[in-house]
Amino acid sequence: MIEVHGLEKSFAEQRVLRGVDFTATAGTATAVLGPSGSGKTTLLRSLNVLEAPDAGTVRIGDARLNFADPPAGKAAYRRAVKALRARSGMVFQSHHLFPHKTVLQNLLEGPVHVQGRDREEATEDARALLAQVGLAGREDAYPSQLSGGQQQRVGIARALALRPEVLLLDEPTSALDPELVGEVLDVVRDLAEQGWTLVIVTHEVRFARDVADQVLFLDGGRVAERGGAEVLTDPREERTRRFLSRVLDAG
């Protein structure tokens, strides 16, 4: 489902990704953890080309893009990027909802205006997704009328409305008050149990231990350790142990 090989990314003189490799099979959840500046968000944004890597290959489903040897010509490159983006939905740290549109209108924007789907069909799907994330009956509310946790759940439903093959979540609870974190994590946990393919950048170690089939620990732009839940319960690397000790102590 997801294959990443040799991903490199620099900003000016700073190398943020240094040859990142990982694979994820369909229906699995991959949690990406690491200290600030380790490249977690850049890796996630590279999967749907919100950041264009300098080198390496990303494949999601049958869409593949080699950034060191991209298709010749701007039009061909744009088509390759569009094909890759079409296979993933992105959930951002800060909801990024349209404030002047209702909840339902926010969900319809992508399917109707970008994908060209039938409005009636897209509306039916949107209502079902809002029910799935616990927001049935809030279709006509505006983002300002919702709590931060509710807005983030709308963001998740909006990403799912695009019918992606993969859902990418970038620290989905980092902008929330502590008492609102649980309601968002419960939705993500339900998606994992339903068999969605997820890549989650998170600092919620206990949550990652519960839902992740695969854990990647990034440090200095490299995958310093990978594996299952044992990465979080019995890590091999001293760097991973120090990070987890600090995070868990702080929590």
217 DSSP β-pair partners = 33, 225
pTM above 0.85, yes or no: yes
* Host H or E run for residue 236: none
What are 77's two structure tokens? 């490159």
- Is 129 strand, coil or helix? helix
pLDDT on residue 91:
93
d(CA 121, CA 15): 45
pLDDT on residue 246:
83
pLDDT on residue 248:
73
d(CA 20, CA 141): 42
Q: What is the distance of C-alpha 116 from the center of its chain?
A: 24
Closest C-alpha to 201, from 181, 174, 230: 174
* Host H or E run for residue 150: helix 148-160
Give the pLDDT of the chain (251 residues) as one tens digit per residue. 899 999 999 998 899 999 999 999 999 999 999 999 999 999 999 999 999 999 999 999 999 999 998 888 899 999 999 999 999 999 988 878 999 999 999 999 999 998 999 999 999 999 999 999 999 999 999 999 999 999 999 999 999 999 999 999 999 888 788 888 899 999 999 999 999 999 999 988 989 988 999 999 999 999 999 999 899 999 999 999 999 988 876 55
Q: Are 39 and 221 in contact (CB under 8 A)?
A: yes
What are 100's two structure tokens? 């002047």
d(CA 28, CA 193): 9
Closest C-alpha to 18, from 73, 72, 56, 63: 56
pLDDT on residue 95:
75
